[in-house]
Amino acid sequence: MTAMILAQANPPAMPVTTLFWLGVVTLGVIALLGGIFITKYFNLWIQAFLTQANVSIVDLVGMSFRKVNPNIIVRSKIMAYQAGLTEKDGLTTRALESHYLAGGNVPNVVRALIAANRADIPLSYKQATAIDLAGRNVLEAVQTSVNPKVIPCPDPSQGRSTIDGVARNGIQLKVKAKVTVRTNLDRLVGGATDETIIARVGEGIVNAIGSAETHLQVLGKPDSISKRVLEKGLDAGTAYEILSIDIADIDVGDNIGANLQALQAEADTRVARAKAEERRAFAVAKEQEMQAAVQENRAKVVEAEAEVPLAIAEAFRQGHLGVGDYYNLRNVQADTEMRSAIAGTGSNVRQPVVSTP
């Protein structure tokens, strides 16, 4: 019984061959992990160490856990340190990681900071990252600050080739302009862009042309448009600073004043015709009324004539009219009708017929 207990307490030793293979497998796994580690991190750490970019192995491993691409962070930091920028300028590993996780373009921000530093343009890391996260190309903004760009006005892509304005004498002028601008980094976040500049310059050109007495003044001094537009401070609230406005081309268009006068004259003619037709219709209606009144009066005359024989007959009965008087009356009527027939001026009004009572 004792022998059995001692045998269980001291199990048989593992064969040497098994231990050997376990050691080989362990070393292989360690070598594999070491190779992966060296392949993924050691090369980046050596680069950062040799350039004094101050990125540790722990930082590299932590980036993988935080879903940050270590290649972008290390190479961006090396690029910044090689250009003379340090952590004092805000380019710390944590800051670069934070901007990467926020969805920013870390290499573009670093390049913008380097370009601004070389051009002596004041641009902080915080300002650069804010511009980048706002959706603007911060590198392009810095380059535009160094090398101003030219904006065509109007924009041909919008379907218009000229800005049309009308002088006070009614002549239309078609203008093409070029606006030279420089990026204002302080106003880039929240500042208006190209569309606003084009709209404001176009409005200023139209206003300047409309203020001219004649189109010849504008053709003689095109720079007067530029001066008048620049005086209005059109770059306020935009991301740019307007350096100059150059008139590239001016063409004479239609005589808008004459066209408007012709249209007005045609409209006046139509109004006059309408009023004349109204007066004619009123006159026709009046004529019809007068003809009706004439017919009414003729009816009254006929009615009065019909009473004359009755009155004569009544006079005979009363003894107020004799036979001699009656024949004298007929003779006078006959004489009057004869004279009228000879003269050719007979009246249309029928003479009353006096019959014998």
Q: What is the pLDDT of residue 322?
A: 73
Per-residue pLDDT tens digits for 20-70: 566 666 767 665 665 565 566 777 777 777 777 777 777 777 777 788 888
Per-residue pLDDT tens digits for 161-188: 888 888 888 888 888 888 888 888 778 7
| DSSP secondary structure string for all residues of 243-280 | EEEEEEEEEEEEEHHHHHHHHHHHHHHHHHHHHHHHHH
Mean pLDDT of 309-329: 75
322's tokens:
């004799």
Q: Does 152 have pLDDT greater than 80?
A: yes
Q: What is the pLDDT of residue 39?
A: 63
| DSSP secondary structure string for all residues of 158-188 | GT---EEEE-TTSEEEEEEEEEEEEE-GGG-
Q: Does 4 have pLDDT greater than 80?
A: no
Q: What is the pLDDT of residue 209?
A: 83
Q: What is the pLDDT of residue 5?
A: 45
The model's confidence at residue 148, banded by pLDDT at 50, 70 and 90, is confident
Q: What is the pLDDT of residue 15?
A: 59
Q: What is the pLDDT of residue 357?
A: 46
Q: What is the pLDDT of residue 349?
A: 46
Q: What is the pLDDT of residue 240?
A: 83
Q: What is the pLDDT of residue 2?
A: 47
Q: What is the pLDDT of residue 7?
A: 47
Q: What is the pLDDT of residue 146?
A: 81
Nearest partner of 352 among 293, 292, 294, 312, judged by Cα: 312
Most confidently predicted of 209-213, 216-220, 324-328: 209-213
Cα 51 from chain centroid (whole Å): 53
Q: What is the pLDDT of residue 144?
A: 84
Start-to-end Cα distance in the chain: 191
Q: Does 259 have pLDDT greater than 60?
A: yes
Average pLDDT taken over every residue of the chain = 78
Per-residue pLDDT tens digits for 106-133: 888 889 888 888 888 888 888 888 888 8
Q: Which CA distances in Å does 166 have to 112, 177, 248? A: 45, 16, 18
Mean pLDDT of 87-91: 81
Mean pLDDT of 297-318: 80
Mean pLDDT of 291-320: 80
- Of 13-17, 162-166, 339-343, 347-351, the range with the lowest mean pLDDT is 347-351
| Beta bridge pairs of residue 244 | 180
The model's confidence at residue 1, banded by pLDDT at 50, 70 and 90, is very low
Using CA atoms, how far apart are residues 288 and 354, in angstroms rounded to an integer? Answer: 34
Q: Taking the model in full, what pTM does it have?
A: 0.57
Higher pLDDT: 275 or 234? It is: 275
Most confidently predicted of 32-41, 58-67, 200-209, 226-235: 200-209
Q: What is the pLDDT of residue 33?
A: 60
Q: Please, is 29 exposed, middle or buried when counting C-beta atoms within 10 Å of its C-beta (0-12, 13-18, 19+)?
A: exposed
